[in-house]
Amino acid sequence: MTNLRPTPLDLAAIGTLATALVAGLVVPPDAVQGDLQRIMYVHVPSAWLAYLAFVVTLVGSVAYLVTSRMKWDRIAASSAELGVVFTGLALATGMIWGKPVWGVWWTWDARLVLTAVMFFVYLGYLALRRSMPEPAVRARRSAVFGVLAVVQVPIVHFSVIWWRSLHQPPTVLRPDEPQIDPPLLFALLMSVAAFTVVYAALMRHRIALEAIQSELEDAPEAVAGAAVRPPRLGGADV
């Protein structure tokens, strides 16, 4: 039976996430947007963790192409899956935030469109993996895909600088100094740290599942009827 007891990493993820959420509620509201700004403590960490997850997919993909070791393919696949989850969360919270600020759920803004494209590209990465049963072929082609797809990360991040955009420019990762009040910045960094620990905990479990799936793929297939034996003739006991 699988051990379902939480590990220290799981407990750390729960604790840091709870602390970050409390911090996001305790800090003063934004001077312009008021309490609506508090969704930033989920939206921004989700976007940052999507970046991190796809960079980890890049590292795992490159490492697989160099070493041909399947553990790197499992790391790349697991991180890509979590990156899709965090990207979807960033898109959903961005739409919820954008409705009262912009008056619409969706607008064809450069940052929004490019983030959606990144979301669907990595969904394509996961679909590619599902379409190929041969582990070695799947790992090699997915690794090439993972290397090429990561170019979207800097494009998405700097899109608000390179093109005119309704989306606000970066407030922390920007060419000059951060433009955010210290209490809000502290709460935001706590949220990013909490989401990072959650990502690490989810990665641990997702990689373990990938390893189990690899073992099942490598196991010899049972042939139908292999357990059936012909009857013994000549009066022998059956």
Cα angle, residue 157 at apex, residues 153 and 162 outer, rounded to 5°: 120
Q: Which tens digit of pLDDT belongs to each residue from 89-146? A: 999 999 998 888 888 888 888 889 999 999 999 999 999 999 988 889 999 999 999 9
Helix 110-131 to helix 70-102 angle, to the nearest 10 degrees?
150
Q: What is the pLDDT of residue 221?
A: 58
Question: Is residue 4 in some structural domain?
Answer: no
Which residue, among 23, 33, 56, has the nearest Cα to 189 in the 3D structure?
A: 23
Q: Dihedral (C-alpha) 171, 174, 178, 184: value to the nearest 10 degrees? A: 30
Q: What is the pLDDT of residue 108?
A: 86
Contacts of 212 by beta carbon, 8 Å cutoff, 6+ apart: none
- Domains: count for the chain: 1
Q: What is the pLDDT of residue 162?
A: 78
Show the domain range for 22. Answer: 9-217
pLDDT < 50 positions in the chain: 1, 175, 238
Q: What is the pLDDT of residue 238?
A: 45
Question: Is residue 228 in some structural domain?
Answer: no
Q: What is the pLDDT of residue 170?
A: 61
Three-class secondary structure assignment of the chain: CCCCCCCHHHHHHHHHHHHHHHHHHHCCCECCCEHHHHHHHHHHHHHHHHHHHHHHHHHHHHHHHHHCCHHHHHHHHHHHHHHHHHHHHHHHHHHHHHHHHHCCCCCCCHHHHHHHHHHHHHHHHHHHHHHCCCHHHHHHHHHHHHHHHCCHHHHHHHHHHHCCCCCCCCCCCCCCCCCCCHHHHHHHHHHHHHHHHHHHHHHHHHHHHHHHHHHHHHCCCCCCCCCCCCCCCCCCCC
pTM for this model (two decimals): 0.81
Question: Is residue 235 in some structural domain?
Answer: no
Question: Is residue 128 in some structural domain?
Answer: yes
Question: Is residue 3 in some structural domain?
Answer: no
Question: Is residue 227 in some structural domain?
Answer: no
CA distance 171 to 165: 15
| Identity of residue 114 | L
CA distances from 59 to 45, 120, 229 (A): 21, 20, 51
* Token pair belonging to 90: 């960033």
Q: Which tens digit of pLDDT belongs to each residue from 203-213? A: 988 998 888 88
| Identity of residue 125 | Y
Q: What is the pLDDT of residue 179?
A: 61
CATH code for the domain in which residue 177 is found = 1.20.120
CB atoms within 10 A of CB 159: 19
Question: Is residue 224 in some structural domain?
Answer: no
Question: Is residue 131 in some structural domain?
Answer: yes
